[in-house]
Homo-oligomer: A and B are copies of this chain.
Amino acid sequence: MSYTVLDEKLIPGYLEQIPRVMEVLGTSDELAITEIGDGNLNFVFRVARADDPKRSVILKQAVPYLRVEGEGWPLSRDRILFETRALRVYNDLVPQFVPEILHDDAEMSVLVMQDLGAVKVLRYPMIEGVEFPGLGTDIGKFLGETLFKTSTLGMESIARRRLMQDFNLNDELCKLTEEFIFTFPYVDHPSNYKNPPTNAHALNVFRNDPEYLKRILRFKELFLTKSDALLHGDLHTGSLMVEQNETYVIDVEFAFFGPFGFDVGKIIANFLMAYTSHFHRPGGPDYQAWLLNEAVSIWKAFEAEFLRLWDETPGAALYFEGMLEPADLADYKKRFMQTIFDDAMGFCACSVARRTVGLAGVADVRAIEDLDIRTHLECMNVDLSHWIMMQYDEIGDIDSFKATVTDFYSRQAPMRQEERRV
């Protein structure tokens, strides 16, 4: 089928040609089809049997433009190829954390996946203050597994270069990240968020601190040139689907080979911005404590999983078995993890800045209607980005991170009572 934009009318006829999908649905008659995409890029449909809604699939289709901006912002449909490739890797490495691929169609830019059922995009229950036991640990395990197993520690280099070749040309989406995370928030750019007091504060804090800007450039340079592992590339609380004791990672179209700390820092940043929002949102101090503990768990589980896999892998591209004595190998591993930790801190600071000052802020804060409250919290996030960045390589470990962040928040002017829990 040559490329056609699918809609509710065309989807049944399209799906009935696909045996694997028909196994799941059983029939293409009387399907309930709902557009559920809330991402910025693609159209996403849930397709379920009207008479048996548990028999359902998810159909995702790329259109040749950036959905959130419309046809005036062209974007190659190739992004769905990269998403398909990354999801295949994840189906292989971490099937417990991702939807199963049922069908992919390069010509139609379509991907049909398992419907994960009654899960929700994490960001929204998090805004409401819902806890999910084990969430941080799940995210950390996902990161440990995917980052180690696509790194030079977990793969031989020829196989690894061949895998890199499948992702290197995900260049348009990498360019979006480059600009929206690492460039525009720090300069005067028309795409930036427009809230004059927040902008003025950011200008004062970020843009007038050359050392901060040079550190942003350090992380931008890593983003552009370091290919440690296959990254999700856009791991925020809107790319996670959760239920009690279930965690799934979705929206992998930004996948590329990049620096270890990027995904780790970005997801931790999202937990911190949620923390900030709960000075106003209903969760309050208890939920804030939970958020910070889960952010700590992300790192701890990531590190534990990464090191467990390393112990099981005698040698690959980087490390040649027997090169170091056990005590020296342990020291080498420690330094290796330290570098990832420091970089995660820096990328965390970049992500907080971007989601506060750039296009596409986090709903946790930007969806707050009261402008004074929103501005107050935005300025706090501006300060948080600066606070972390200016000590990214001195924080040292995850317990100090917790102390550092707690210290930061304890210095903030208290919210007035009427600003809280609206």
Binding site for B on A (CB under 8 A): 152, 157-158, 161-162, 164-165, 168-169, 171-172, 174-175, 178, 183, 186-187, 210, 213-214, 217, 220-221, 224-228, 317-320, 322-325, 328, 331-332, 335
Contact = CB atoms under 8 A, between A and B. Distances in A.
A187 B152 contact: no
A180 to B, nearest CB: 12
A324 B320 CA distance: 43
Given A162-B169, A165-B165, A317-B224, A217 B332 contact: yes
A406 to B, nearest CB: 32
Contacts of A225: 152, 226-228
A173 B324 CA distance: 26
Contact of A168 (B165, B186, B213, B228): B165
A210 B325 contact: yes
A17 B228 CA distance: 47
A185 B214 CA distance: 38
A139 B320 CA distance: 34
B210 A319 contact: no
A178 B317 CA distance: 8
A411 B161 CA distance: 44
A299 to B, nearest CB: 21
A152 B224 contact: yes
A324 B171 contact: no
Contact of A169 (B165, B317, B322, B324): B165
A152 B222 CA distance: 11
A323 B187 contact: yes
Contacts of A210: 324-325, 328, 331
A217 B328 CA distance: 12
B168 A161 contact: yes
Contacts of A171: 157-158, 161-162
Contact of A214 (B158, B162, B332): B332
A22 B161 CA distance: 39
A381 B317 CA distance: 27
13 contacts: A152-B224, A161-B169, A162-B169, A187-B322, A210-B324, A210-B328, A214-B328, A214-B331, A217-B323, A220-B318, A221-B318, A225-B227, A226-B227
A187 B161 CA distance: 24
A172 B220 CA distance: 30
A321 to B, nearest CB: 9
A322 B188 CA distance: 10
Contacts of A331: 210, 214
Q: Closest 7 interchain pairs by CB? A: A210-B328, A161-B171, A158-B171, A152-B224, A183-B320, A225-B227, A214-B332
